[in-house]
Amino acid sequence: MSSQTQPPVLTLDSFTFIEEANAASGAIVAADRLGVLARLERGPIDPPGLARECAMGERGARLLLSALAGLGLVETRADGAYCAVPELSQMRGLRIPWDRLAEALRDDIPVVSGDSPAGAAAIYPNLVTFLGARFAPIAELAAQHLAAPGLRVLDAGAGAAPWSIAIAKRDRACRVTAMDLPDVLRATREAVAGAGLDEQFRLLGGDLFTLDWGRSSYDLAIAGNLCHLFDATVNRRLLRRLLDALRPGGRLAIIDAVPNERLDGPRAVVLYALGLALRTTRGQVYPFSTYVGSLREAG
């Protein structure tokens, strides 16, 4: 039998990941349903106390707390109590409703349409602060390649503006126009103020596809974590608008999750893409070649 006709084999790495992913999901779901996550948010507690307050067995309480500690969601104290990490409450609000995935795939209808203004206004005001912190280290790396003296930057769909904040911190002469939905701009304003960059930022509230942010006005336009929300046709419209906003010689930075050309990896990217079925009507991740083609068509 040739290598081309041999059946695929599940690797040990994949098997281990699937086992751990199932266990992690089970632990988080159980902790949520039993009220453990909510109780941990109120303060530290030891296994016997958790067992009493959440009406569960003490052995189960110990096992569950250990698993949550292994996932980095809680920390153990010297007195034997467990306390939640500060991000636990944010993580609870960010949980994707994976239990509705089969329904979303069957009906091709998302649980919430994060690619529409109304849906985005429901999701992102409470999400972008967490995402900003999550992307901050990567944004610092991106800024090494994007920053230049005296830049005029358009940050489209800025959220907590991690990408433009990292650039603006490198040059006090940099000026940023950060746009997003009005409900999201509160988080943008807080992030900018927290970075001490108020004087370098102008905030614009409005729709990504209709807001007048100016033409031929910017040296750099940033589309950070936007393109995966839309289909290819809508992305061409978006990219055209961003290109029109650039001065001659300006640059467009597209920052997103990018799969390989076969669309079967990396694992984290294709699993992320699956979650888009739950929160977008047409969203998907695109390989590098798709972006090249879209930019050529957009001019």
Domain harbouring 128, CATH code = 3.40.50.150
Cis peptide preceding 287, ω within 30 of 0: no
Do residue 22 and residue 89 come from a single domain? yes
Q: Which pLDDT score, from 0 to 100, does residue 94 have?
A: 65
183-to-81, 122, 206, 216, 244 alpha-carbon distances in Å: 38, 9, 10, 27, 26
Q: Provide the token pair at 260.
A: 């390989």
Domain annotation covers residue 4: no
Do residue 44 and residue 163 come from a single domain? no
**Which pLDDT tens digit goes with each residue over 212-256?**
999 999 999 999 999 999 999 999 999 999 999 999 999 999 999
> Looking at the predicted structure, is the pLDDT value of residue 121 above 70?
yes
Domain annotation covers residue 103: no
Q: Which pLDDT score, from 0 to 100, does residue 89 have?
A: 78
> Looking at the predicted structure, is the pLDDT value of residue 90 above 80?
no
Confidence of residue 7 (pLDDT cuts 50, 70, 90): confident
Sign of the CA dihedral running 173, 206, 90, 146 = negative
Do residue 268 and residue 183 come from a single domain? yes
Q: Which pLDDT score, from 0 to 100, does residue 5 have?
A: 74
Q: Which domain covers residue 158, as residue numbers? A: 117-298
> Looking at the predicted structure, is the pLDDT value of residue 79 above 70?
yes
Of 95, 127, 152, which residue is a domain's last?
95
pLDDT above 90: percentage of residues in the chain: 90
**Which pLDDT tens digit goes with each residue over 143-174?**
999 999 999 999 999 999 999 999 999 999 99
Domain annotation covers residue 288: yes
Domain annotation covers residue 282: yes
Do residue 145 and residue 41 come from a single domain? no
Of 63, 95, 127, which residue is a domain's last?
95
Confidence of residue 88 (pLDDT cuts 50, 70, 90): confident
3-class secondary structure per residue, 126-170: HCHHHHHHHHHHHHHHHHHHHCCCCCEEEEECCCCCHHHHHHHCC
Do residue 77 and residue 149 come from a single domain? no
**Which pLDDT tens digit goes with each residue over 10-66?**
999 999 999 999 999 999 999 999 999 999 999 999 999 999 999 999 999 999 999
Q: Which pLDDT score, from 0 to 100, does residue 4 have?
A: 64
Confidence of residue 2 (pLDDT cuts 50, 70, 90): low
| Share of the chain residues as helix, strand and coil, in percent rounded to the nearest 5 | 55, 15, 35
**Which pLDDT tens digit goes with each residue over 278-292?**
999 999 999 999 999
Domain annotation covers residue 100: no
> Looking at the predicted structure, is the pLDDT value of residue 1 above 70?
no
Domain annotation covers residue 139: yes
Do residue 146 and residue 229 come from a single domain? yes
Of 60, 95, 130, which residue is a domain's last?
95
* 146 neighbors 167 (Cβ within 8 angstroms): yes
Do residue 189 and residue 292 come from a single domain? yes
Do residue 35 and residue 167 come from a single domain? no
> Total domain count for the chain?
2
Domain annotation covers residue 5: no
Do residue 284 and residue 152 come from a single domain? yes
Confidence of residue 202 (pLDDT cuts 50, 70, 90): very high
Q: Which pLDDT score, from 0 to 100, does residue 168 have?
A: 99
Do residue 145 and residue 293 come from a single domain? yes
Return the CATH number at 63: 1.10.10.10
Do residue 78 and residue 170 come from a single domain? no
Do residue 81 and residue 160 come from a single domain? no
> Looking at the predicted structure, is the pLDDT value of residue 91 above 90?
no
